[in-house]
Amino acid sequence: MKSSLNDLYDYGYYIYQNDDYFKFSIDSVLLAEFVSVKKNKKSLLDICSGNEPIPMILHKKFGNKIDITAVEIQKEIYNLGVDSLKYNKIDSIKYFNEDIKNYKNFLKSNKYDIITCNPPYYKVYDEKCINDNSIKSIARHEIKLDLESLFQIAKSLIENMGTFYMVHRAERMMDILEAFRENKIEPKRIRFVYPKQNSTE
């Protein structure tokens, strides 16, 4: 299927997308804007990178202050990210088409100061409810990476005193807090985002 080149909001970059795949959303922007980098933080790992919106925004924000590594499991989405990086002439982001569960086989760094992730949001309850498009279903549902596995990986890869940032749906809050507790990661900041001004849902 043919991909199209779109504005990456107001960041001065362009990003390749495909209507048949799961396209990036405002969630990626919200997460990237939530990230802060202290002077002593040098390395960042982005998990479930998709077509590279979060790494590209972080590169725009912080430039060469941090080394960015990104991982995306789906080849079709990874290829869009590769094209986006080439188009914007960004060659400093290390980008892998790999399963993050196998990180020991391809990541040279053992630990990262910052980890970011916009993960699949939905549990897999019934296969009938999963999209027939496997690329979309893997992006949306915990088929390849569930919440528990994500936190275990983050715990293994985060530096002492490092920071883990993620964006997720409010209805999974209790699952998220439980995952924090089980992996001895303490949440410091939580920001709730509403779709409309004065909205309570």
The pLDDT of residue 129 is above 80? no
Amino acid 182: pLDDT = 93
Amino acid 20: pLDDT = 84
132 pLDDT tier (thresholds 50, 70, 90) = low
- The arithmetic mean of pLDDT across residues 108-125, rounded, is 87
Q: Is 128 helix (H, G, I), strand (E, B) or coil?
A: helix
- The arithmetic mean of pLDDT across residues 3-14, rounded, is 91
The pLDDT of residue 3 is above 70? yes
Share of the chain above pLDDT 70, in %: 93
What would the pLDDT profile of 25-47 be if each residue is shown by its tens digit? Answer: 899 999 999 999 988 889 999 99
Find, among 93, 57, 81, the residue nearest to 139 by Cα. Answer: 81
Amino acid 23: pLDDT = 78
Lowest mean pLDDT: which of 52-56, 131-135, 158-162? 131-135
Lowest mean pLDDT: which of 57-71, 81-95, 119-133? 119-133
Residue with tokens 């590169």: 59
Share of the chain above pLDDT 90, in %: 68
By DSSP bridging, strand 67-71 and strand 43-47 are parallel
Q: Which residues contact 64 (CB under 8 A, 6 or more apart)?
A: 92
Amino acid 139: pLDDT = 79
Burial class (CB in 10 A: 0-12, 13-18, 19+), 117: buried
Joined together, the tokens standing for residue 190 give: 């939580």
Average pLDDT score over the chain: 89
Amino acid 134: pLDDT = 74
Lowest mean pLDDT: which of 21-25, 35-39, 196-200? 196-200
Q: Is 80 helix (H, G, I), strand (E, B) or coil?
A: helix
Amino acid 166: pLDDT = 96
The pLDDT of residue 97 is above 90? yes
